[in-house]
Amino acid sequence: MVETISPEFALVRTPEKLYQQLEAAEQVPLRIRHSENALAAPPDVRSRVAPSATPPRAAAKKPAKVRRSVETTLWFSDAEAHAAFSKLLLDAKCVVPTDSHALTVSYPRKAEPLVKECLKELNEQFAVAVEDIEK
């Protein structure tokens, strides 16, 4: 009566017997009359054989490459400590931007280990306390 052709599809060879069995089991059968040339789809049922048209996709966004660099700046409260720290950096061959007017030293992350060593050496001459101003 029913021939299974895949886990999702079955062919009905004797629709009258199947219709009677579904009615006897108190299930609601739906009878579809097919034409000689093509199969008819049940009303309000999506076809599982042919997928529905795909919805139009939004236009692809243009890629934008963004590069980021993180830099640390030390602000000195004393010109003498700034000058001593700048000299220690130059002696350690660590070339980073220093500003003697603003009393600042800016350095990238890759120079941080060398800057920390120079801060330890500066701590021998001055009482150095580093305070983070951003959290």
Q: Provide the pLDDT for residue 27.
A: 76
pLDDT at 1 over 90: no
> Average of pLDDT values for 62-84?
92
Question: What's at 48, amino acid-wise?
Answer: R
What is the residue-averaged pLDDT of the chain? Answer: 84
Question: What's the pLDDT score for residue 14?
Answer: 83
Instruction: Judge if pTM exceeds 0.95.
Output: no
Domain locations along the chain: 1-35, 71-125
C-alpha pair distances (Å), 42 with each of 36, 56, 75, 108, 115: 16, 26, 77, 69, 77
Position 72 scores a pLDDT of 92
Query: In 10 A of CB 115, how many CB atoms?
Result: 20
Return the residue matching tokens 């003697």.
100
pLDDT band at 39 (very low <50, low <70, confident <90, very high): confident
Instruction: Say whether pLDDT at 113 is over 90.
Output: yes
64: pLDDT strictly greater than 90: yes
